[in-house]
Amino acid sequence: MSRIGKQEIVIPAGVEVTKNGAILTVKGPKGTLTKTFRDDIEIKIADKMVTLSIKRNDKFSKSLWGTYASHIKNMIAGVQTPYQKKLILEGVGFKSEVKGKEIHFALGFSHPVIVPIPEGLTVTAEKNNITVTGIDKELVGSFTAAVRALKKPEPYKGKGMRYEGEVIRRKQGKKTA
């Protein structure tokens, strides 16, 4: 039994949840999110509550039960307050700037790195701090991870891109005789 899946999800005031076939739509003050769910899990929406129950008692359905509950909770939370992730760019000569729908990076390569910003995300870059904001938690997290993968932090000097609050384990380096 899924502990997360068994819990009823409360729909707060100002948020509207509708289900049309396999598509669940969540509307709120910050925007609208839609997601397609498989029919292995039964989603019921009644009097400001969302309840989930499994149709078949197999391993796959049980694994989707809690996952779908978490997805719905994240959708409801996202349309109320947007999700935000911050990246810190460390290193001499490393720069980032937002130009229109693209982020331009100077990461020590022989060429500038240009990353297009997906629809639904807001990206700001002041000095060496990059802030990614959006109502879709999955999109914010995956885009931030893709940007971080361009120049991961290295353990000797700490150069590279890291999340705010992320601790980089440092190595000692070479010893001189």
CA gap 61, 165 in Å, rounded:
36
Contacts of 111 (CB under 8 A, 6+ apart): none
pLDDT at 136: 95
Q: What tokens appear for 147 in the block?
A: 């940007």
pLDDT digits (tens, 9 = 90+) for 28-51: 999 999 999 998 899 999 989 999
Right CATH number for 3-80 from 3.40.50.10190, 3.90.930.12, 3.40.50.10860, 3.40.50.2300? 3.90.930.12
Q: What mean pLDDT is predicted for residues 7-22?
A: 92
Class of domain 83-163: alpha beta
Buried/exposed code over 75-112 (b: 16+ C-beta within 10 A; e: otherwise): bbbbbeebbebebbbbbeebebeeeeeebebebeeeee
Banded pLDDT at 176 (limits 50, 70, 90): confident
- Residue 76's closest CA among 25, 115, 148, 126? 25
Judged by DSSP in three states, 145 sits in: helix
Q: What average pLDDT is seen over the chain?
A: 93
pLDDT at 177: 67
Domain boundaries, the chain: 3-80, 83-163
Q: For the whole model, what pTM was predicted?
A: 0.90
Banded pLDDT at 1 (limits 50, 70, 90): low
